[in-house]
């Protein structure tokens, strides 16, 4: 048994029984009796201010009996383990308590040997749940870091290379980045004047802090799209805001004004950023796979004498390149796709990539993507997204979880991205959908 301590509450309307239960040697079970109450109502009041792991309760009590107490505890504190005390005449009540999640029941007069065995089992269950909770929290932290890593890698690839349309669709979903709902894009670059050299006198540790700070500040200072900070301190801003881009086409100085405002706000951290920031603005493009062209245009402007804002013409979108897939035909394709679907259905509540599914069914990721479309008529990303959205709709209709909690429960760590995806599939935001569903139930 671990060194953890477990908190126990005793609830019985008879003072002598409460004292008798308190006299039991709980130390060998790592249990502390933190409260005893004479009825269920007082017990619930105490639970509001005290974390309880184990509850020992009688059934027949004034104001609120053990049956009602067990029902309310199961609803409000599902982690709590309930042990019910009953007389022979209360046997059916005890069985009802078991339906409400009670761990076990004991008949009066109490056999302390049996009591000890039940306590030991309850403690083991609490300990296991604590371990699982720690593992779950550790996994969630890891998953969150994984999403951040995927997001940075995807943005880097999007800026530096002309990615294929299918690749963008798959990787943007894993990175929780929404691009397809936008019709135009512009890349702006912010650089330190000494780029790509570091400012003089800045060591590795200080430079890492500068990059970390710049990345985090841009999340707060700028909300017109997405940003990527490279290892040399260059910050690429991918503008997706339609109003901003429309305004830029009408008045080329408009984006420059917004960029100047961002730089002015960064000047508050002059003690950290020991170099001035300059910027360029690329051309407007109409496809996500052309974002790299806007990036290249902005980078090229730094080679000219005037590194301030320039009015650059837009370019026409090119036809997307046809993706060629050379795959082998296999006889068990349907079985593999079914296994892939089962993996998704058991893991949709966390961040999973096409590579994760492919590894599970022992296939190459590109081949799995091809096979999924061939045999189901549906893209992998469409299947997992629609599956998650259907689960989210059910949770919105039948539970009281907050919208961001529902998003997390179906695998979306970013609440804004969850709302965008949900609205794309339902033409309603999650909150609008819940309100509409609630209205239908009332009518």
141-147 contact pairs (CB < 8 A, 24+): 143/350, 143/351, 143/413, 144/413, 146/351, 147/174, 147/175, 147/176, 147/351, 147/413, 147/414
Does the pLDDT of residue 311 top 50, yes or no?
no
Does the pLDDT of residue 128 top 90, yes or no?
no
**DSSP letter string, 167-228:** HHHHHHHHTT---TT-S-BEEEEEEETTTTSPPTT--HHHHHHHHHHHHHHHHHH--SEEEE
Q: Retrieve residue 377's tokens.
A: 């008529």
> Rounded to whole angstroms, how far apart are CA atoms 56 and 105?
9
| Angle at alpha carbon of residue 108, lines to 106 and 110, rounded to 5° | 70
pLDDT of residue 318: 30
Could you tell me which residues come within 8 angstroms of residue 303 by beta carbon, excluding any fewer than 6 positions away? Answer: none
pLDDT of residue 294: 92
pLDDT of residue 344: 92
pLDDT of residue 91: 59
Mean pLDDT for 58-79 is 80
pLDDT of residue 322: 28
Higher pLDDT, 218 or 139: 218
The superfamily (CATH) of domain 178-301 is Nucleotide cyclase, GGDEF domain (3.30.70.1230)
Higher pLDDT, 426 or 196: 426
Mean pLDDT for 192-211 is 78
Q: Which range, 213-217, 334-338, 384-388, has the best average confidence (pLDDT)?
A: 384-388
* Fold of the CATH domain 6-132: Rossmann fold (3.40.50)
pLDDT band at 92 (very low <50, low <70, confident <90, very high): low
Mean pLDDT for 35-64 is 83
Does the pLDDT of residue 314 top 80, yes or no?
no
Mean pLDDT for 206-225 is 80
pLDDT of residue 89: 60
pLDDT of residue 145: 59
Q: Tokens 């009518």 — which residue?
A: 443
Compute the mean pLDDT over every residue in the chain, rounded to the nearest whole number.
79
> Rounded to whole angstroms, how far apart are CA atoms 195 and 207?
13
Contact indicator for 236, 221 with CB cutoff of 8 Å: no
Contact indicator for 83, 122 with CB cutoff of 8 Å: yes
pLDDT of residue 99: 58
pLDDT in tens, 148-172: 788 888 899 999 998 988 888 888 8
Contact indicator for 410, 374 with CB cutoff of 8 Å: no
pLDDT of residue 158: 92
pLDDT of residue 329: 37
Does the pLDDT of residue 103 top 70, yes or no?
no
Does the pLDDT of residue 69 top 90, yes or no?
no
pLDDT in tens, 223-271: 788 999 998 889 999 998 888 888 888 887 888 888 888 887 777 665 5
pLDDT of residue 59: 79
| Angle at alpha carbon of residue 219, lines to 216 and 225, rounded to 5° | 145
pLDDT of residue 211: 83
Does the pLDDT of residue 205 top 80, yes or no?
no
361-369 contact pairs (CB < 8 A, 24+): 361/336, 363/336, 366/325, 366/327, 367/325, 367/327, 367/328, 368/336, 368/340, 369/166, 369/170
Q: Which range, 39-43, 62-66, 401-405, has the best average confidence (pLDDT)?
A: 401-405
Lowest mean per-residue pLDDT among 40-54, 279-293, 310-324: 310-324
pLDDT of residue 439: 63
CATH code assigned to 333-442: 1.10.10.60
pLDDT in tens, 371-400: 788 788 888 888 999 999 999 999 998 888
Could you tell me which residues come within 8 angstroms of residue 399 by beta carbon, excluding any fewer than 6 positions away? Answer: 406
pLDDT band at 315 (very low <50, low <70, confident <90, very high): very low
Could you tell me which residues come within 8 angstroms of residue 86 by beta carbon, excluding any fewer than 6 positions away? Answer: 58, 59, 93, 94, 105, 106, 107, 108
Using omega within 30 degrees of 0 as the cis cutoff, is the peptide bond preceding 333 cis?
Answer: no
pLDDT of residue 270: 56
> Rounded to whole angstroms, how far apart are CA atoms 406 and 388?
10
Could you tell me which residues come within 8 angstroms of residue 98 by beta carbon, excluding any fewer than 6 positions away? Answer: 84, 104, 105
pLDDT in tens, 275-287: 678 888 988 999 8
pLDDT band at 325 (very low <50, low <70, confident <90, very high): very low
The domain ranges of the chain are 6-132, 178-301, 333-442
Q: Which range, 41-45, 128-132, 307-311, 422-426, has the best average confidence (pLDDT)?
A: 422-426
Give the up-direction half-sphere exposure of residue 403: CA atoms within 13 A in the CB hemisphere.
17
Higher pLDDT, 332 or 280: 280
Burial class (CB in 10 A: 0-12, 13-18, 19+), 379: middle
Lowest mean per-residue pLDDT among 11-20, 235-244, 327-336, 407-416: 327-336
């Amino acid at each position: 048994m671990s060194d953890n301590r477990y908190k126990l509450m005793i609830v019985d309307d008879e003072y002598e029984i409460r004292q008798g239960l308190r006299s039991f040697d709980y130390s060998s079970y790592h249990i502390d009796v933190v409260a005893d109450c004479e009825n269920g109502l007082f017990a619930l009041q105490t639970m509001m201010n005290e974390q309880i792991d184990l509850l020992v309760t009688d059934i027949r009590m004034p104001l609120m009996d053990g049956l009602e107490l067990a029902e309310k505890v199961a609803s409000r504190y599902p982690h709590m383990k309930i042990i019910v005390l009953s007389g022979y005449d209360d046997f059916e009540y005890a069985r009802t308590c078991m339906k409400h999640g009670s761990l076990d029941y004991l008949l009066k007069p109490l056999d302390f040997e049996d009591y000890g065995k039940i306590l030991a089992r309850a403690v083991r269950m609490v300990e296991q749940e604590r371990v699982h909770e720690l593992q779950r929290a550790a996994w969630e932290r890891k998953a969150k870091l994984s999403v951040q890593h995927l997001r940075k890698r995807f943005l880097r690839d999007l800026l530096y290379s002309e990615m294929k349309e299918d690749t963008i669709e798959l990787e943007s979903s894993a990175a929780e980045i929404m691009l397809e709902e936008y019709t135009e894009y512009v890349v702006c670059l912010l650089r330190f004047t000494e780029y790509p050299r570091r400012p003089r006198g800045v060591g590795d540790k200080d430079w890492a802090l500068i990059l970390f700070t710049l990345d985090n500040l841009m999340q707060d200072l700028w909300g017109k799209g997405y940003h990527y900070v490279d290892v040399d301190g260059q910050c690429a801003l991918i503008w997706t805001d339609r109003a901003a881009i429309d305004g830029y086409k009408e008045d080329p100085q408009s984006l420059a004004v917004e960029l100047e405002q961002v730089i002015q706000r960064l000047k508050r951290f002059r003690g950290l950023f020991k170099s001035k920031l300059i910027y360029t603005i690329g051309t407007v493009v109409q496809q996500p796979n052309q974002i790299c062209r806007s990036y290249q245009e902005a980078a090229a402007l730094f080679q000219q004498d005037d590194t301030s804002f320039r009015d650059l013409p837009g370019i026409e979108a090119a036809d997307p390149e046809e993706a060629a897939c050379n795959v082998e035909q296999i006889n068990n394709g349907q079985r593999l796709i079914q296994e892939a679907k089962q993996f998704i259905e058991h893991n949709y509540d966390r961040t999973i990539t096409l590579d994760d599914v492919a590894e599970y069914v022992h296939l190459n990721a590109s081949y799995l993507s091809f096979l999924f479309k061939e045999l189901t008529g549906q893209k992998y990303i469409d299947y997992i997204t629609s599956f998650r959205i259907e689960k989210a709709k059910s949770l919105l209709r039948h539970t009281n979880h907050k919208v961001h909690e529902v998003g997390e429960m179906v695998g979306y760590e970013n609440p804004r991205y969850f709302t965008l995806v949900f609205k794309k599939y339902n033409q309603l935001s999650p909150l609008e959908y819940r309100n509409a569903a609630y209205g239908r139930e009332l009518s």
